[in-house]
Structure 1
Amino acid sequence: MPNRQNLLVALALVAPFALMSANPDKPAKAKKEKAPFVAGKPAFTPDPEIPAFEASSVKPDHLEPGAFKVPEGFEITVWATSPQLFNPANMDVDHAGRIWVTEGVNYRRHSGRSREGDCVRVLQDTDGDGKCDSSHVFVREKELECPLGVAVFDNVIFVSNAPNIIKYTDVNRDLKFDPAVDKREIFLSGFEQPQHDHSLHSVYAGPDGRLYFSNGNCGAEFSDKSGRTFRIGGAYLNNPYAGAKSDDGHVYVGGFTASVDENGHDARILGYNYRNSFEGVRTSFGDMFLNDNDDPPACRVSHLIEGGSFGFFSRDGKRQWRADKRPGQSIPTAEWRQEDPGSIPAGDVYGGGAPTGMCFYENGALGEKWSGLLLSCETGRNVVFGYLPKPDGAGFKLERFDFCTTNTTGVFKGSDFVGGAKNLSDERHTLFRPSDVCVGADGAIYISDWFDKRTGGHQDTDETCSGTIYRIAPKGFKPKVPALDLSTVKGQIAALQSPATNVRHVAFARLKAAGDINMPAVQKLREHANPYIAARAEWLLAQLGEPGLISARVWLESEDATKRLVALRAIRAATNDCIEILSNLTTDLSPMVRSEVAVALRDVPAAQSVALLSKLSHHIDGSDRSLLEAWGIGCTGKEEAVWSALKPEGSWDDAFAHITWRIHPAKAVSDLAKRAADGKLSAEQRKLALDTLAFIPEASAAKAVLELAKDKESPLHADAMWWLIKRSTDEWSAFGVAEALKKEGVFDPENAKLVTIATPPAIPCTVKLEDVLKLNGNAKNGAQLVTRCVMCHQIKGQGVEFGPNLEGWGRSQPSEIIAQALIEPSKDIAHGYDGQEIVTKDDVTIHGMILTEGDIMIIRSMGGQNQYVAKSRIKRRRKLDQSMMLNATQLGLNAQDVADIVAYLRTGK
């Protein structure tokens, strides 16, 4: 082991512990929120000193169009701005082109600032000049506290305001809610934590006629109007539902996406185990995409596979991802459990941020080139990201670009991943906080801007509550909203072609209600040149009774794989009686079609589905993770039967090894143990077998790994030991792993030699931040200085995993934040990197991070050294009140040295 002097040097640049700043899941931040979990109980304490908000007394502000960068050929204009609206949290577009906005004047600590409650506002351009000239309140209620969603379907308006989805019906269609005339009902309820960003989000329509919404990892216990209850929990805010089974027979944890029919019946969970997906989309092809928040920097935009888990919590919901992070794993890999069976591909993981609204452009003013454009708001980075998803096996390639931004510098302010409230700025290019994006009824793109120095952390700072809606369209665009008579078939067919998602839903519902009488018009629409519009007609045909279903089957025979996929999805949405179709498509040439067949088999009994899943497995070799995971979802509850049906007589190939890893049946234990011990196999093949054993919650699997650990010369010994001690704290806790390790002579936790590794006491730093910021840094010299930190950090593929990986990290950090972390590392220690002091009964002192709790604790200290400490040997334990690093003075760095290191980390070269 390194000597003490080397260990002191190794502490250099553990500063980023302080940089990846706090977030809503950080224990220190969540103390107020960890009261006993009570449905409907606010997760915050309002500030009684906050004065009432008077719109007439504020001087609102907004960014001018010239501050924005948009694609060539487009222009951005101000469509509406304060005082026409304030703090826009979410928005939607109706068939007349009006924009409906939920406001968050009462956001979090500002609860009560608008004494009568927050509101839903209606904005419109009455003279067609491309600017809002009319704004009024549809509804304002004290119960509304920064509602995070609004969806408009003609005269029916859904507002997402935890714990409820509220349904308003504007009976007299005057665009103003009057309780004496109009209707108000609770559509669904049971979504935990009002006034919490990780709670209930917006409703939106799918091409199947169903309503969709998402909820963050605050949890929920809600019942649909069919009487089925869904319980979704996790290791956050003392949620009591973690590991509870829902009435559909499945266990869901974390954030989730759900759908219901328009009457609130037949709820389904379509994806789960998120941190906090703010919004998602379902395209007219039926593809689902969503974004998700970071903890710490691992925000993502992803393709959702139906029934899939993204892995933020453990399978039972009782552990957050960091508790299960394996040695050597990067944060994105660990946070979304990308090396665990049962976690679907995370998509584009882009780092720190605070993503919000999404939309998908299929037709409209932008032109054919942009058809299929996915947009995702990223408030932490002052940008709306664009993607043109490209099919990639059973999944998609998501290549990100900046569609609309005010900040091209790569230096961000006010977001949790760059210091949050401790790193605010008045630099105007950092004030753009796009809360939502949607496609207008005129086909243009509309973006709402919250406008603030701060985003995330449940905080805002702009006392004027300024807000703006911008429009992006081709240069010289003249807006024109088609006049739609939704009472006629012609108007409904026209509305089904609308660029605006929820406008299409109104047409879908009315055409469906009329039955097959309108089939000729719908069949004609299915021949439309725009494939998305044609797909909308296919979904509808399948729901126009038996004649419509027959017509929809025609696309199953198409040479176009997308048409076959849409037809299968549309038929599945229309009827549960499609096992024959699923059987016929098990050998389809398209991996996306086969993936859809697989997920459709999840709840089909084994007697009908095992043979089909076996056929599907012939196309799986492990290289297409999306296809493998979709197939695994289809095997849910039938893993043992499927594996038995597939097991070869002789040796396994790699494809079968990956299949076994994905479904990890108990019947495979003995075969896996032999493979893991087989010296003729490659190290990678043997490790896959070991990892598969680690995910089988059976005593036989624990015993098999124990046998592997006995061979201390085996290349798997260290991994086997880690799994044994890790699993002894969770899935194998009842199997006496610690006792068995001692009995078998593998490891005696009571008598193992422990070594003191302690962080030196902090001393005042003589380097001043203001002095560093005056200097020009020399990145080349900084590259030399940074090499001393590889004892605790990985950079450019070298170094030890103890502190955060520095690769690319500094490029998104302001210079002052990097410098501050070197000068005063204890000022802001990142979530998950808090140090602990363990003192044993024989006075060995260990400073480090606790990787696992249990009878045997794994403690990682500086230099990346792990020690296994029996809990029975601990005399006392406390949280360190300082960072586990030396400041610049202790490291012998002067102001210029710090500036040089900052320059290197900011440029990466």
Structure 2
Amino acid sequence: MKKPILALAALGLLTFSCDTTKPQLTQEQYDALTDEQKRSVEFALDGIEVLDDRLQMTLFASEPMLTNPTNMDIDDRGRVWITEAYNYRIQLNPKNPTKAEGDRILILEDTDGDGQADKSTVFYQGTDINAALGIAVFGNKVFVSVSPNVFVFTDENGDDVPDKKEVLFTGVGGVQHDHGMHAFTFGPDGKLYFNYGNEGKGLHYADGSPILDPLGRPVSSETAPYQEGMVFRCDPDGSNPEVLAWNFRNNYEVAVDSYGRMWQSDNDDDGNRSTRINFVMDYGNYGFKDEITKADWRTRRVNMEDSVWRQHWHLNDPGVVPNLIQNYAGSPTGILVYEGKLLPEEYQNQVIHADAGPNVIRMYPVQPSGAGFTGEVVKILDGNKRDNWFRPSDVTVAPDGSLFISDWYDPGVGGHAVGDLDKGRIYRLAPKRAQYKIEKPKYNTDEELVELLQNPNRAVHFNAFMALKKKGTEARGILEKMYGLENSRMKARAFWLLIHMPNGEEFIRNAAKDSDENIRVAAVKAYRIKGMKDHSFLQSMAADPSDQVRREVAVAIRYEDASDVWLKLAEGYRSGDRWYLEALGIAAEFRWDSYLPTYLAKIGQGWSNSAEAKDLIWRSRSAGTPALLEELILAENSPEDHRYYRALDFQTADLKNQTLKNLLAKGQNEDQVIILRQAAFDSKNPDVQLLNLSKAKAGEIADDRDFLEIVRKYQLKDQKERLLALVYQEENRGLANQSAGLFASLYGMGEIEQAMKNSDEVKAIAAIRKFGAVDTPDMATLLSKFWKNDQASTAVRTAAMEEAKGYQSEPFLWEMAKTDQIPSDLLPIAQKILMSSWNGNIRVLALEKYGDSIAQGYDLIKMMSAKGEVEKGKSIASTYCLACHKIGNEGVDFGPALTQIGGKLSREALINAIINPSEGMGFGYETQLVKFKDGKEIRCIVNSKTENDLIVKLVGSSDQTIYKLANITSITQLSESLMPAFPLSEQELVDLVSYLEGLK
């Protein structure tokens, strides 16, 4: 194999940027730069604020040496390995430019010691690694994550050319998808840790067979409880893979500290201000989708959380591990635990994280709190106030302890689109005057190996670990000496090697007696990893004074029958420690029927007065739980606390419904609406008791959302007056649209037509506006009676035509248009609707008939500097955007929320997203074509798919519609966005963007 080395003389580009004596421009000076200057390498360091004056950032490498870095690792020689993504998402967005030879893995090296890369080696290039999202260098092997595969490249002779390429894992969903397989990292226990986002679907060996959990179940999104994003670990050769946690959205990377604890970020549904940082508890469910139904987080439920970020992760549901930190809006990427000494003390042993959305690098100091943690947020680097093209894609520790940051550098943050293909940067962050000098380490003597074992760089750590492990008992003495260090984390690193000695269990038992609770945590983790079977050990550790240790004991017995251990752990639970409660639930998952009755019998009759017992019943899943929940509900003094009702949703369906019927007979009147919402009801075979109660209660229901839910579920036709009031109210457009649709389904079109014919023109137009929002063929036909009526007033005809839009309505309008049945005075309105149709086929046909005026003649350079009128832009947003997007409390929750879009996308990215909506569809908002057995087709957004149902949102609606999978023949993802390219003039577009970029 020929060695493909590309050495670039980029010093001319880099010298001025890396001049450490050059002061950073003031904000005024930076603002005076042209956009071209701001985007240039010359001013790269001026665009990013270093928020600690003890630290200094330098530019290690930039374009043309590299472009579009998605992930990064640093080997033991201090060389930076990069995965590029020039061919980004080309399978989903064919409009993105491509390089036929494929994307590259680069090795960037500083050969002359001046702190700047002057040599670039192409380690590998090919279409099989297009848009790879992970790279990790372990000895002579390089792990590259690019769904559907994990490749392992082996460089046998150290010439920086792979001699072998193998598939380690395959079958991961999401080919070229940001929510697919992510990077591997090395844990202190000698394991490799990795994850994938919620497009991953499942993990398979190289031969295609699925990995199995300890019960022999395939680990895939089709096997309960596994769903959405997951975390895994395996041995360095890929053997013994384990699933460790699940139900994340897009958990981009996982970091592991020296005690074996996992830390991770997670991305929300775009625009919902719900990104988070998690401490990852083994076997934890992290709540992105409903655990039982797999329903979307927006689905209304009893005891629903009081804020979007809580709703987003189902934090009120039993069985969901809590979040550590909320970061609100963002696009989180790389993460690590910094265990070096070069950075100041407050950075040491902390989680450090890159977030490309708000252009920041952050640190999260955490403190133990019960069985969990509390944390805070500290910014380290910030590009938002200056260069919002700074898009940190990864953060990594070099062998000297300095931080390296890879910068995707783009007006946007990926998704499906890329705005800049020519740029990419690598920065180094270190204390001032700390030069980057790395010598190739020597792994010869025990002393050298122990020193290198303590290095913060994972490549060095890996090499030292493997060398010491190979030495076996020869290294015992020096490792025991290292175990005596005062530095707890380095002591833990020695421990993880000592357990591999012939008498490793002895070291585990000794560590279990250590005065440091973190070492005891590691001891319990080691018990599991080594496959120990010592019940007395677990009994002893269940009595440990530390909640942190007892948490680990709980997850350690998940697959063991250890009633006495669990009962001892339950004794230590104190109400309010959700981490501990979830650990107990994880432990009891397969044994609730034996554990819970024994626990309650031990407490005795006083269990109903115990907050801890109530919590455990709420969390439990035993056959007796519904009856216990019934008893708690009946005794509950605060009817506003409906958590016990929500807990019924996690029980067997038959027992749940029987309990609800029992509560109707015995319960408080205040809870009857909740019971009506939760109880199963078949309109074809109606339960008379439930139906009669719904009729009696509907008029009393205070919450309009509850009212609509009950009226729809029980098909009540005696609530017309209130339903009409909701249709005509102006405070909530989404509620009005839902009400209008429900009114049409209950009463038909006749009454609506009469309202539109009202002799009072103001009232007639109000009816047209309100009911015209119902997007059905029947409504389109009705509206046509008015816009075709030349006897009606211009105002009425105009209103009817303006409402003749929507995915289901526009086919009718097109049939009228193609046969020239549109009145000439209304033709401009119809043309605008059809040329910006939600239906791509109609849009193409309309453009052919009327001429393509969309995106023609736009002068992007001019628009970038043009000033728009914000108020006009707000009006345009109200016309076009609020039909499918939320802005604050206004609009429809169909597409991604725009409330903080100005803090995520630059002006250029906003313009491109509006002109070319198909190039940047957010994940979870892609167009899906659903075909039914009866020949019907719909285009929609799929919120979730359960074993029996497909839950979707139709265009322009926040409502979820449920279809039976048995009636569906296929579900196909399309490359075309449901968002049309709106026919805006150049000035209208500038006005709109001027408004949107102020939403932060």
Q: TM-score range by the shorter chain?
A: 0.7 to 0.9
* Structure 1: distance between partners of 2:378 and 2:580: 26
Structure 2 counterpart of 1:597, which letter? Answer: V
* Structure 2: distance between partners of 1:107 and 1:833: 17
Aligned partner of 2:47 among 43, 67, 70? 67
Aligned partner of 2:401 among 430, 435, 443? 443
Partner residue in 2 for 1:142? 127
Structure 1 counterpart of 2:688, which letter? Answer: K
CA-CA distance at 1:75 after TM superposition: 0.5
Aligned partner of 1:747 among 669, 694, 718? 694
What are the Cα deviations for residues 174-205 of structure 1, in whole angstroms up to 9, with x where unaligned?
1122xxxx232222222123211111111111
Partner residue in 2 for 1:253? 227
CA-CA distance at 1:759 after TM superposition: 5.9
* Cα 1:224–1:668 shift into 2, 3 Å: same
CA-CA distance at 1:322 after TM superposition: 2.9
Matches within 5 A, 1:852-891: none
Partner residue in 1 for 2:104? 119
Any idea what SS the aligned residue of 1:666 has? coil
Partner residue in 1 for 2:674? 719
- Alignment check: 8 A CA contact 1:191 1:200 kept: yes
CA-CA distance at 1:244 after TM superposition: 2.4
* Cα 1:675–1:369 shift into 2, 3 Å: closer
Partner residue in 2 for 1:664? 621
- Alignment check: 8 A CA contact 2:105 2:123 kept: yes
What is the number of residues matched between the two proteins? 762
Partner residue in 2 for 1:272? 246
CA-CA distance at 1:483 after TM superposition: 3.9
Normalising by structure 1, report the TM-score.
0.73
- Alignment check: 8 A CA contact 1:372 1:389 kept: no
Any idea what SS the aligned residue of 1:294 has? coil
623-632 vs 359-368, greater mean Cα deviation: 359-368
Partner residue in 2 for 1:405? 382
* Structure 2: distance between partners of 1:397 and 1:815: 33
356-365 vs 220-229, greater mean Cα deviation: 220-229
Any idea what SS the aligned residue of 2:291 has? coil
Matches within 5 A, 1:368-767: 368-408=345-385, 429-464=387-422, 466-546=423-503, 548-604=504-560, 606=561, 609-647=562-600, 648-650=603-605, 651-652=607-608, 653-678=610-635, 681-684=637-640, 687-709=642-664, 714-724=669-679, 739=685, 741-745=687-691, 746-747=693-694, 752-753=716-717, 755=743, 758=771, 762=802
Give structure 1 stretches of 5+ with no counterpart: 1-53, 233-238, 246-250, 410-428, 729-735, 835-848, 871-880, 884-896
Aligned partner of 2:189 among 208, 216, 223? 208
Any idea what SS the aligned residue of 1:549 has? helix
* Structure 1: distance between partners of 2:391 and 2:687: 54
- Alignment check: 8 A CA contact 1:275 1:293 kept: yes
Structure 2 counterpart of 1:567, which letter? Answer: A
Give structure 2 stretches of 5+ with no counterpart: 1-5, 14-38, 696-712, 718-741, 745-769, 774-799, 804-828, 833-862, 928-941, 965-976, 980-990
Identity between Structure 1 and Structure 2 (%): 27
Partner residue in 2 for 1:7? none
* Structure 2: distance between partners of 1:435 and 1:280: 14
Aligned partner of 2:278 among 282, 302, 311? 302
Partner residue in 1 for 2:222? 243
Q: CA RMSD in A?
A: 4.9
* Cα 1:739–1:703 shift into 2, 3 Å: farther
Structure 2 counterpart of 1:76, which letter? Answer: M
Matches within 5 A, 1:836-847: none
* Structure 2: distance between partners of 1:443 and 1:376: 16
Tell whether 2:336 aligns with 1:359.
yes
Any idea what SS the aligned residue of 1:229 has? coil
Partner residue in 2 for 1:40? none
Structure 2 counterpart of 1:282, which letter? Answer: V
CA-CA distance at 1:855 after TM superposition: 12
- Alignment check: 8 A CA contact 1:385 1:403 kept: yes
What are the Cα deviations for residues 699-734 of structure 1, in whole angstroms up to 9, with x where unaligned?
021121234356897222222222225xx6xxxxxx
Partner residue in 2 for 1:79? 60
CA-CA distance at 1:750 after TM superposition: 6.1
Any idea what SS the aligned residue of 2:130 has? coil
CA-CA distance at 1:112 after TM superposition: 7.8
Question: Which structure ranks higher in relative contact order (CA pairs < 8 Å, sequence separation ≥ 6)?
Answer: 1
* Structure 2: distance between partners of 1:869 and 1:262: 44
CA-CA distance at 1:774 after TM superposition: 5.8
- Alignment check: 8 A CA contact 2:58 2:428 kept: yes
* Cα 1:141–1:225 shift into 2, 3 Å: closer
* Structure 2: distance between partners of 1:163 and 1:534: 38
* Structure 1: distance between partners of 2:358 and 2:448: 41
486-495 vs 629-638, greater mean Cα deviation: 486-495
Partner residue in 1 for 2:159? 174
What are the Cα deviations for residues 499-548 of structure 1, in whole angstroms up to 9, with x where unaligned?
112321221122112212211111111233432222111111112221x4
- Alignment check: 8 A CA contact 1:857 1:868 kept: yes
CA-CA distance at 1:600 after TM superposition: 0.5
- Alignment check: 8 A CA contact 1:384 1:404 kept: yes
Aligned partner of 2:138 among 137, 153, 172? 153
* Structure 1: distance between partners of 2:9 and 2:473: 57
* Structure 1: distance between partners of 2:393 and 2:526: 32
CA-CA distance at 1:231 after TM superposition: 7.2
Higher helix share: 2
Any idea what SS the aligned residue of 1:443 has? coil
Any idea what SS the aligned residue of 1:513 has? helix
Aligned partner of 1:163 among 122, 135, 148? 148
* Structure 1: distance between partners of 2:287 and 2:962: 26
* Structure 1: distance between partners of 2:471 and 2:994: 72
* Structure 2: distance between partners of 1:114 and 1:866: 41
CA-CA distance at 1:448 after TM superposition: 0.5
CA-CA distance at 1:563 after TM superposition: 2.3
What are the Cα deviations for residues 148-195 of structure 1, in whole angstroms up to 9, with x where unaligned?
111111211111122221112211111122xxxx23222222212321
Structure 1 counterpart of 2:544, which letter? Answer: D
- Alignment check: 8 A CA contact 1:588 1:594 kept: yes
Say which one has the larger Rg: 2
* Cα 1:512–1:856 shift into 2, 3 Å: closer
Structure 2 counterpart of 1:174, which letter? Answer: D
Runs of 4+ in 1 over 6 A off after TM superposition: 54-60, 225-228, 710-713, 792-795, 798-808, 813-817, 826-834, 849-860, 862-870, 897-903
* Structure 2: distance between partners of 1:811 and 1:452: 15
What are the Cα deviations for residues 781-811 of structure 1, in whole angstroms up to 9, with x where unaligned?
x9xx9xxx9xx9998xx99998999998689
CA-CA distance at 1:364 after TM superposition: 3.3
- Alignment check: 8 A CA contact 1:442 1:482 kept: no
- Alignment check: 8 A CA contact 1:364 1:444 kept: no
Normalising by structure 2, report the TM-score.
0.67
* Structure 1: distance between partners of 2:175 and 2:478: 45
CA-CA distance at 1:308 after TM superposition: 0.6
* Cα 1:189–1:210 shift into 2, 3 Å: same
What are the Cα deviations for residues 545-564 of structure 1, in whole angstroms up to 9, with x where unaligned?
21x43234333222222222
* Structure 2: distance between partners of 1:850 and 1:126: 51
- Alignment check: 8 A CA contact 2:203 2:220 kept: no
* Cα 1:681–1:537 shift into 2, 3 Å: same
* Cα 1:738–1:613 shift into 2, 3 Å: farther
CA-CA distance at 1:575 after TM superposition: 3.5
